[in-house]
Amino acid sequence: MTGAFGEAAFRLGPRALALPRRPSEFKGPGRVAVVFETTALEPHESGLLGRIESGGLHPYRPPGSRKPDNSQIIFECDADELRQHAPGHPALQAFVTAIDNLEACLPPPKLMGVVNVTPDSFSDGGRFHEPQAAIEHALELVAEGAQILDIGGESTRPGAEPVDADEELHRVLPVLEGLARQTDARLSIDTTKSVVARAALAAGASIVNDVSAGQDDPDMWPLVAEMGCEYVLMHRQGRPRSMQIAPTYDDPVREVCEELRRRVAACLKAGVGATRIIADPGIGFGKRLRHNLALLQHLPELRSLGLPLLLGVSRKSFIGHVTGAEEEKDFRGRSRTDRPVERIGGTAAALTACVWGGAEILRIHDVRIMSEAVQVAHALTQPAPYL
């Protein structure tokens, strides 16, 4: 679906609906406002907007900005009049349908339980390094409500050293094979290596979670295209070994969106199906505290990609930085004054922001208690009952 209204429909589509709704996309009873990229408007759309009597086009001023963004315009009009013009315009009809669906009851995000089969995990210190321990832990996560299990054999914590493919396979294959026999939960392989991904898919995985977005292994995208599996494409600045030393952004939200858009375009060109890609902004991967907070505050901007979002905020160090329990300079884990397993309250709060921002999948460690947080956060996005 092309044109500005088609793009707007993606932003407001079922995968993206959640509170808080952007004032620039939805303005309460009877009124609609949407931000368009100036170059996205096709001639027939410009003409259509001009015929809507209650509407107006104005330069868009981003929240907090003192001047308009010359690359964007905001259009506001009466919703009922917009509906009257929808017949005969498929993209506009999709946009109107998306608006009408804003009050629909949507399912809560899927929960992806984390299974680290590594001796140096940042979050659990290698408690589940042995295959049987990892399998038992994974089954507990499923019993607590996880619909997806993300199995990883290489730590991606800040400062982590790389692991060769043979060792990674030695760690994850017994776990994947054991889980494939014992649970119906979907299995995800957390890897940047195509050889590991191929073996994991053969062992029962159906999702590849690639924190490098295809940059570490040029064979990853052809493999994903060949296998037709779902693919998590994550933003990362730098590599785990050094990514937290000096991450730099002028505008983290815009830059992360632009980089994800470029990687998605290249991924599509490599033959991966558009409906198979899941975007992840990479909280904590080459980002300082202010960068992480900016992304979580502006998740609707990431929804403009038109893809489902996966968010991994569970037990991340930015929570300790916010609370003051951990100094931000201790990115390598030195002189730590709090432990990741103790970041329960902060994780629950961050997950609420993710739910309200439109995340479709949440990658978490503490499934039982966080499923409660997600259910309550999701309930707050639904129409309130009046007693």
Catalytic residue numbers read: 316, 363
Handedness of CA 357, 362, 364, 366 (dihedral sign): positive
- Tally of CA atoms within 13 A in the half-sphere of 303 that contains its CB: 29
**Amino acid in the structure at residue 192:** T
CA 279 centroid distance within chain: 5
d(CA 68, CA 72): 8
User: Which of left, alpha, beta for 271 (phi over 0: left; psi -120 to 50: alpha)?
Assistant: left
Q: Are 283 and 311 in contact, with CB atoms under 8 Å apart?
A: yes
Nearest in space to 89 (alpha carbons), one of 29, 31, 42, 37: 42
Q: Are 49 and 58 in contact, with CB atoms under 8 Å apart?
A: no
Q: Which two tokens stand for residue 23?
A: 């004032």
DSSP H or E stretch at residue 182 = helix 165-182
Tell me phi and psi for residue 99, to 5 degrees. -65, -45
Provide the b/e sequence for 149-178 (b: ≥16 CB within 10 Å). bbbbbbbbbbbbeebebeebbebbbbbbbb
Helix (H, G, I), strand (E, B) or coil at 352: helix
Nearest in space to 345 (alpha carbons), one of 372, 379, 381: 372
CA distances to 185, 263, 367 from 143, in Å? 10, 35, 9
**Amino acid in the structure at residue 14:** P
- Tally of CA atoms within 13 A in the half-sphere of 357 that contains its CB: 26
Q: At what angle do helices 131-144 and 165-182 cross, to 10 degrees?
A: 50
